Structure 1
Amino acid sequence: MPKDTKYLDETGCKILSILDRDGRISISELASRIGLSAPSTAERVRKLEQDDIITGFTVEISPKALGYILEAIVRVKPSPGNLHVVEQLILNEPRFTSCDKVTGEDCFVTRIYLRDVSELDDLLDPLHEKAMTNTSVVKASPIRNRMVPLG
């Protein structure tokens, strides 16, 4: 696979698919599942990292196990001249677990976790001086962190 291309062969796709489901799998187990030797598999994984196809390995934490029973999506529309101030407020608040700058009417789409709905005002009040917000409580997530299509 040339370094300047991100196209994957069948083995590379298998490696990514397996690692997406279990990032802690051992190289020897991964090798047995894809039908290569452990050294060849390790080299393939290293190459995927070197080509920035694999950019890291993460742990998935259950917010509910930590007492965060509510998840919400908050769309944020800063008032004129307050874009950077609002962005900094979001960055400085750890209960915002993700934030995307987007096109359209809103400038930010964020996710938050709360232990109780009463935390919502405390969390959003600092933003209301500089922005309008629209909050939706997440009922379910049929798709969460799906891997992009390969090939």
Structure 2
Amino acid sequence: MKPDLDAVDWALLGALQEDARLSYNELARRVHLSAPTVAQRVRRLEDAGVITGYHARVDPAAAGFPVVAQVRMKCYGARCITVHPELLDDLPEVLQVSRLTGDVCSMVLVATTSVAELERILVRLASHGETSSAMVLSTPISWRPLTPPSHP
């Protein structure tokens, strides 16, 4: 069941998306509630699956993975990576797999140390279906926080 998020929930989500390392005391100061109330609300958001984890955003190039590519996949049946994502468990270069609608079944985000490594990954992905790749030149919008829906 989808929780009803109020303005305080959205303020907490906004602050945590900006800096997930904020203490309950700092969050409480920002939303004008007590720290125990904030802790309870954050736990409720976690239990409801609204907050799914706390992560650092890492720049692949700065971390030694300068070659980033988006790979479109068409795969079917037992070798389909959207049905069996565990088939890619031994490929840490695969950062994300998204199931899509339309003429492709998935989009795979890959980060590698070189073009030769990208080629190795593409050959491996091709064993699961048809691939079409595009190297990422830059990412003008690398991430945005989720904000409350706007209602007319």
Q: Same fold (TM over 0.5)?
A: yes
Tell me the amino acid that sits aligned with residue 114 of structure 1.
T
Task: Return the match for 2:78 from 81, 84, 94.
Answer: 84
Unaligned runs of 5+ in 2: none
35-44 vs 53-62, which moves further: 53-62
> Percent identical across equivalent pairs?
32
82-91 vs 102-111, which moves further: 82-91
Shift of 1:115: 1.2
Contact 1:86-1:127 at 8 Å conserved across structures: no
Contact 2:64-2:113 at 8 Å conserved across structures: yes
Tell me the amino acid that sits aligned with residue 149 of structure 1.
T
Paired with 2:111 and 2:33, the residues of 1 have a C-alpha distance of: 42
Partner secondary structure for residue 23 of structure 1: coil
Are residues 30 and 106 of structure 1, via their aligned partners in 2, closer, same or farther at CA, if it must alter by over 3 Å?
same
Contact 1:19-1:25 at 8 Å conserved across structures: yes
Partner secondary structure for residue 146 of structure 1: coil
Are residues 5 and 67 of structure 1, via their aligned partners in 2, closer, same or farther at CA, if it must alter by over 3 Å?
closer
1:9 alignment partner in structure 2: 6
Are residues 12 and 85 of structure 1, via their aligned partners in 2, closer, same or farther at CA, if it must alter by over 3 Å?
same
Tell me the amino acid that sits aligned with residue 85 of structure 1.
R
Tell me the amino acid that sits aligned with residue 62 of structure 2.
A
1:110 alignment partner in structure 2: 108
Are residues 26 and 130 of structure 1, via their aligned partners in 2, closer, same or farther at CA, if it must alter by over 3 Å?
closer
Contact 1:72-1:111 at 8 Å conserved across structures: yes
Tell me the amino acid that sits aligned with residue 140 of structure 1.
S
Shift of 1:66: 2.3
The count of corresponding residues between Structure 1 and Structure 2 is 145
Paired with 1:108 and 1:51, the residues of 2 have a C-alpha distance of: 27
Task: Return the match for 2:51 from 50, 54, 58.
Answer: 54
Shift of 1:111: 0.5
Contact 1:114-1:120 at 8 Å conserved across structures: yes
Task: Return the match for 1:25 from 22, 42, 52.
Answer: 22
Q: Which has the larger radius of gyration?
A: 1
Partner secondary structure for residue 64 of structure 1: coil
Unaligned runs of 5+ in 1: none
Paired with 1:140 and 1:7, the residues of 2 have a C-alpha distance of: 37
Across the aligned residues of Structure 1 and Structure 2, the Cα RMSD in angstroms comes to 2.0
Paired with 2:90 and 2:80, the residues of 1 have a C-alpha distance of: 10
Paired with 1:73 and 1:36, the residues of 2 have a C-alpha distance of: 43
